[in-house]
Amino acid sequence: MNTINITNARKNIYQLVSDVNVGYNPITIVNNKGKNAVLISEDEWKGIEETLYLSSIPGYVDEIKKIDENEDWSKSERFNPDEEW
């Protein structure tokens, strides 16, 4: 994770926002008071929220693990978003 001090972050905020949206690499913004922040893309944040929500459903993660362990994946195909249905 890249780190930048808050003064430089303020000067380069537009570029930083662009960088986290293009590269999906979070940036830690540090200050001299020890209270840091992390800048991430909105898409990444939504993914984190969704993961937290799904993980909060009782038994959900265990069910997914069971399916993964018991399913025969040898004949599965990779998802193709361009495939017609």
At 64, the amino acid letter reads I
**Measured between alpha carbons, how far is 29 from 37 in angstroms, rounded to an integer?**
5
Of the pLDDT bands very low, low, confident and very high (cuts 50, 70, 90), residue 77 is: confident
Please write the tens of the pLDDT for every residue from 45-69. 999 999 999 999 999 999 999 988 8
Average pLDDT, the chain: 92
Answering whether pTM is above 0.75, one says: no
